[in-house]
Structure formats: structure tokens, C-alpha cells
Amino acid sequence: MTDHILVTGSAGRVGQAAVKGLVAAGLPVVGFDMRPTPGLPVDRSIVGTLADGTRFDKIAAGARCIIHLAATPDDARYPRGPAPDDADNFESELVPNNIVGTYRVMEAARKGGVPRVILASTGQVIFGQLQAGRIPVRGDTPPEPRYLYACTKVFLEALGRAYSREHGIEVMAVRLGWCPRPGQEEEIRQSDLGPDVYLSPADAGRFFVAAVTVANVPPFSILYATSRPAKRLLYDLSETTRVTGYVPQETWPTGLSDY
């Protein structure tokens, strides 16, 4: 298996949106997740985990691009209590899945000669900037992470930058907008930020197709991916458009039921 687009976390909310968009664009997609990936044939839907680094190295070898979405998500409700109340366990979940997992993806890319990796980050890494009203936030703005989950994504971005510099891999770290789980509609509606940072499934697909297929990208870039803001532009999308050509087409709540 060579020249494929390997998507980790392909059975998740964002993963399924990415796979759907990539397949519709006629790209050779391979999914990798703990469960089968909807929309892919059996031979293109690989069940496994990043804990088995040797197996993942073989799957990644020769890929055209890796889209790394697999992670322990931050699905706690907003607004939340004090930061230590975050639901995710740092040592048992976030470190092995978000930190070690990202390292294994970058190592697989290095060993397997993968020229491009797209890493899923989060807008939570600039949470402090948003709270202070310093908007729209650019990709080169220093991070002010929300808490532990966001800190793992700061690491992800730094690791991507290091592998790009040291090993010549093209890396895009994309700070994804809010991709809601079922039942979060009212939570987003009541949020000051939610409708402006929403990312619809179709726009997610458009972004990943653009990021995979565009030529002549910078060695490393930090980008934002959202749909069109309902009222205020909170994330600066100009660099995303410049690097990938992506322009969002939808606005909250379009596509919500498709997640």
C-alpha cells in the first residue's frame, strides 16, 4: 500500500468528515481507528491503535500524507468549573494518547518517507487570547492553553515544528474549530464563542482536501479551520486560505445533524 492518504482517528466525528470529503474528491484514503471506519471498504479500514508503533509504521510507510486526528478528546461541558475539574486524566489518557501517540505518528512519517503530515490541534491553545478579546487570533500568536488537553496540543504543534525542521517533513498544525458531539447544540447556542468557531462536517472535508492536495506549502504552518463565523471573526483564517486555498462555505448551524 503506497501513495495513500492515511487518516488516524478516522471513525471519529472529524475523522468521518475528513474521510467523506477525501473519498468524494477521489483520493486513496486509508482509515486507522479503534473501530471500523464508516464509508470505507474493509481493506481500507484498518482497526488498531497507535500503541502498536511497529504495526503503524508499516501502515504509514509510503503514504502521500498522514492526517492525524486520533486523540483523547476534550468533551467536558462548557462552561466548566475550575481548571482542575477537567474530565480527562492526564497520566492515563492524555499522555499516552495525545503526546506519545503524536510522537509515534511523526516517527512513522520519518521512517516511512511520508512527505506531509497534517496534525489536528485545537483553538483551546489560544484560549487566553480569546478571553482577553485579542481577536482575530493569528497562528503566530503565543499560545495560552485552556488546561491539560490544550497543553497536549501545544506539544503537538511544537513536535510538528521540530520534525519539519529536522527531517524535512511538511507539517500543518491545524487548530480546528468546534466539532460538536450529539446533544451539544444548545451548549454552542448559549456560548459566546461557539457559533463563531463552529466547523461543519462539509467544511472540515473541504479543508482536509485542500490541505492534502495543495502544492508548494511552507515547511511548517499553524492554521485555523472553521466555518464562516456567525458574527465575529475570532480566528484569522487568512493564512489558511493563503497556504491551502481553503475558504469556508457554511455557517452555524448548517450541517450540525451530520455529526
Judged against a pLDDT cut of 70, whether residue 61 lies above it is answered with yes
Burial class, 217, CB count within 10 angstroms (exposed 0-12 / middle 13-18 / buried 19+): middle
Place of cell 505518528: 105
105-247-28-7 Cα dihedral, nearest 10 degrees: 30
Of the candidates 2, 105, 115, the residue with the CA atom closest to the CA atom of residue 48: 105
How confident is the prediction for the chain on average, in pLDDT? Answer: 93
CA–CA gap between residue 99 and residue 106 (Å, rounded): 11
pLDDT of residue 82: 55
pLDDT > 70? residue 40:
yes
pLDDT, tens only, 204-253: 999 999 999 999 999 999 999 999 999 999 999 999 999 999 999 999 99
- Structure confidence by residue, pLDDT tens digits, 221-235: 999 999 999 999 999
Domain boundaries, the chain: 5-258
* Stronger pLDDT, 85 or 173, i.e. the higher one: 173
Q: What is the pLDDT of residues 65-97, one digit of tens each?
A: 999 999 998 854 444 555 545 556 888 889 999
What is the spatial distance between Cα 118 and Cα 171, in angstroms, rounded to a whole number? 6
What is the phi/psi pair of residue 218, to 5°?
-65, 155
> Residue written as cell 500503541?
51
- The number of C-alpha atoms within 13 Å of 112 and in the hemisphere containing its C-beta is 28
pTM, two decimal places:
0.94
pLDDT digits (tens, 9 = 90+) for 175-191: 999 998 888 888 888 88
5-258, what's its fold?
Rossmann fold (3.40.50)
Mean pLDDT of 2-21: 97
pLDDT (0 to 100) of residue 227:
98
